[in-house]
Amino acid sequence: MTAVGGLVTVLTLTALAILLAFAAPPRYRSVASGGASMGIGIAGVFTGIAGITSVPQAVLVVPIAIPGGLGIDPLLLSPTPLGGVFCVVVGAVGAIAALYGIGYAHGPAASRTGWSAFAVFLLGMLIVASAGDVVSFLLGWETMAIASTVLLLADHAERPAVRTAAVWYAVMTHLSFLSLATGFALVASKAHSTTFTQISAAQITGPTGIAAFLLLLIGFATKAGLVPLHVWLPRAHPEAPSHVSAVMSAAMVKLGVYGIILLVGSWLPQVARPFAILVLALGVLSGAYGILQASITSDLKRLLAYSTTENVGLAVTAVGVGMLLSNAGQDAVATIALVAALLLVVSHAAFKTVLFLGAGTILHATGERDLDRLGGLIRSHPVTTWTFGIAAMGAAALPVTSGFAAEWTLLQALVHGDGRANTTLALALPVTLGLMALTIGLGLLTFVKAFGMAFLARPRSEAAATPAPEFTSKPGSAAMGVAQAIGALSVLALGLAVGPLATAFSSVLGYSGIITSELGGLRLVTIGVLDPYALGLVAVGLAVPVALLVLVLRRRVPRRETDLAWGCGGVRTSPRMEYTATSYAEPLVRVFGEALRPTRSLEVSHHAEDHVLEHRVAFAQEVSDIVEDRWYAPAAVWLRVAGDQARRVQNGSIHRYLAFSFAALVLVLVVVTLP
C-alpha cells in the first residue's frame, strides 16, 4: 500500500465507522464500528510504513482559496519518514484499542457518539503525523482535541469527577492549540509560507524565532504532559474509558514529542541550540517527578497516567541530550540519543497500551481501581495477569522487553558523551545520568507494586474476591483478551528486534552507518553491543530451573492455607496482615516527604469496656500534586478575581461596546502595517 492509498483508506474507513455507528443495531454497534476503527488503525500502520520507506512527497494535496484576496498555501498531507514512525505508533495503538473496545465499550462509550468520536480521534492523530503544512497540522490537532474531549466525557452523567477532568483537559489542550497557532503564525509570517518545507528552508532566527520557539515548545510540552504542564494528564486518563485512556497515553501524547523533535531538528534548529538545556531540564524533571508521583499513588489508572509523564520525560530527555551533544560536535553519539528517543516512544506505546487495557479489565471485573482494595486476580484472570505482567516488565525496563532496550540505548549515549567538550556538557551528563538512574529504580518499585497488589496476595475487598468473569458471552468479549495478548507480544518482539528497529530509526533521522544490527542485536558504532537473544537465553536458563524446582516442591510438600510457621502459631486470617499499596510506598513518602507534603489522618477507637485497649485503627493518607496546588490553584483564584473585575466593563452601554470594537480595529490595522 502506498501512502496515497493509505490516507485515502483512512478517510474512507473513518466515514464507514461513523456510518456504522449510526446504522448498526445497538447489540452489534461495537463490533461493526469498532471493526471499522480497527481498520483505520491498520491503514495508518501501512501509511506510516510507506512514509518511512519512500521518498517524502505530497501524497494528498487539497488546494484552498479564500475569497477576498487572502490566500494560503495548499493543504499538504505528506508523511515524512519521521512522521511515518508516528503514523505507525498511532495506527498500531488505535487498532489494538479498537479491538479491545469491541468487547469492553459499554454505556455512553459504546453509543453512536462514542464510536464516531473514536474514529475521528484516530483520524485527527494520523492527520497530525502526516501534515506537511501549518494549516493541516492545526486542523488535525484541533480535531484530535475535540474528539478526545468528547470521549473523555462519556461517563459525565454518572461521575462528577469526569466533568472536572474534562474541564481541566479542555482548558489545557486549547491553551496548547492557542500557543501553537501563535507560534506557527510567527514562523509562517517570516517564511512567507505555511508549508513545513519552506519554514525549514527559511532558517528563521532573531527575536521572532525565539518567541516562536518558546510558544511552540509550550504547546507541544502541554500535549506531551511534561511537568509543569502535565496537570490535565493525571485527571483525564483515569476518568476516560480504558481503551480511550490507552490511545491518549500511548499515542496522543507522543505527538507532543513528535512536535518537539520537528521543532528542534527541522523548523527552528538554529534558535533551538541555546535552549538545549531547557529541553533537557523539562525531560529530566518530568521523568523524576512523574515516576515519584506514580510510585506513591494507590489509584491504578492515576499511577499509569503519572507513569506516562515519566516515559514521555525520558523521551524528551533523549532529545535534549541529543541537542547538547550535537552542539558539542559529537554527532554520532547525538544520533544514538535521538534513536533512543524514538525507541522510547515506540516502547512506551507498546507496554502502556497493554497496561491501560489491563486496568480496564480489572475495573470491568471488580469496579475497583484502588490497589488497596484489589488482590488475588491471578486465579480468576490469568490472561490479564500474564499480559499485564509482561507490560509491567517493559515499564520497569527489565530484559528482554522493549523498555530495557530503549533505556539502555539512552544510557549508552549518556555514558559515552564526552563531557570535556564544554562546561555545560560536563555538568549536564552526570546529573542526567544520576536522575535517570533514580527514575529507573522508582519505575521498578512502582510496577512491582502495581502488579503485586492487583494480582497477588489475597483479595482486599469483596469485589476483588468475587470478580466478574474475564470473558463473557457478550459479542466480541474475547477481543479484550486477544488485544491484550497482541500488545504483550509486541512488548517482547520490540525488545528482541531492537537492532533492526534502531537501524531503521537511524535511517529515518538521516544518518547511516551509526547503528547496525546483527540478527536482533544492536551495535552502536564505537560504543558496544546489546544482544537481546543472549539475554533471552540467560533469562530462560535462570527461569526454567526455578520453575522446575517449584513444580517438584509443590508435589512433595502439601500446601497449607492457614499455617503461618513464622507467626508464633498464628494463622493468616485476614488480608489486612499483608502489605497494601499505601504501606508499600510509605518508605518513599517518608524519604520524599518534604517534596510531596502528604496529608495524613489517624483515627483510633477504643473498646467500650476498656479505654486502654484499641478496638480499631484507621489510617488514611493523601498526596496531592504539589505543582497543581502551588501554581495552578493560586492562578485559578487570580483568574476568578480578574474575571469578576472584568464584568464591570459590561454595563450594557452600546457606546462603550462600539468604542471597544473601534480600538480593536485600530490595533489590528497598526499591527498589520508594521514592517
Q: What share of the chain is helix, strand, coil (3-state, %, to 5)?
A: 75, 5, 20
What cell does 370 get?
484502588
Count of beta carbons in the 10 Å neighbourhood of residue 649: 10
Q: How far apart are CA 628 and CA 565, in angstroms?
A: 48
Q: What pLDDT sits at residue 472?
A: 67
Which DSSP state fits 641?
H
Which pLDDT score, from 0 to 100, does residue 529 have?
Answer: 66
Q: Do the Cβ atoms of 264 and 323 come closer than 8 Å? A: yes
Per the DSSP assignment, residues forming a β-bridge with 528 are 524
pLDDT 10s digits, 421-446: 788 888 999 999 999 999 999 999 99
Sign, Cα dihedral of 240, 245, 251, 255: positive
Tell me the three state secondary structure of residue 523: strand
Give the span between the Cα atoms of 590 and 587, in whole angstroms. 5
Count, residues in the chain: 675
pLDDT of residue 603: 79
> Taking residues 526-534, what's their average pLDDT?
67
Please name the residues in contact with 461: beta carbons below 8 A apart, sequence gap of 6 or more.
366, 368, 373, 374
C-alpha 631/C-alpha 651 separation (Å) is 33
Q: Where are the alpha helices (DSSP H) in 228-329?
A: 233-239, 242-247, 254-262, 269-272, 276-296, 300-327
Residue 250: pLDDT band by 50, 70, 90 thresholds? Answer: very high
Side-chain-side CA neighbours of 355 within 13 Å: the count stands at 32
CB within 8 Å of 519: residues ≥ 6 apart? 499, 533
118 and 242 Cβ atoms separated by less than 8 Å: no
Is 101 strand, coil or helix?
helix
CB neighbours (10 Å) of residue 193? 18
Nearest partner of 263 among 214, 335, 225, 327, judged by Cα: 214
Determine the average pLDDT of the residues in 394-417.
Answer: 90
The C-alpha atoms of residue 413 and residue 411 are separated, in whole angstroms, by: 5
Is 542 a residue whose pLDDT tops 50?
yes
**Mean pLDDT, the chain, as a whole number?**
86
pLDDT tens for residues 630-674?
A: 888 888 888 888 888 877 777 777 878 888 888 988 888 887 776
Q: By percentage, how much of the chain surpasses pLDDT 70? A: 90
Q: Which residue has the cell 493509505?
A: 6
CB 346, CB 407: distance < 8 Å? no
Terminal alpha carbon distance of the chain: 48
DSSP symbols for 174-220 = HHHHHHHHHHHHHHHHHHT--BHHHHHHH---HHHHHHHHHHHHHHH
Strands of 238-347 (E only): list them: none
User: Is residue 113 helix, strand or coil?
Assistant: helix
Over residues 582-609, the pLDDT tens digits come to 888 888 888 887 777 777 777 777 776 6
Q: What is the pLDDT of residues 292-305, one digit of tens each?
A: 999 988 899 999 99
Separation CA 211–CA 190 (nearest Å) = 12
Encode 79-95: b = buried (16+ Cβ within 10 Å), e = exposed: bbbbbbbbbbbbbbbbb
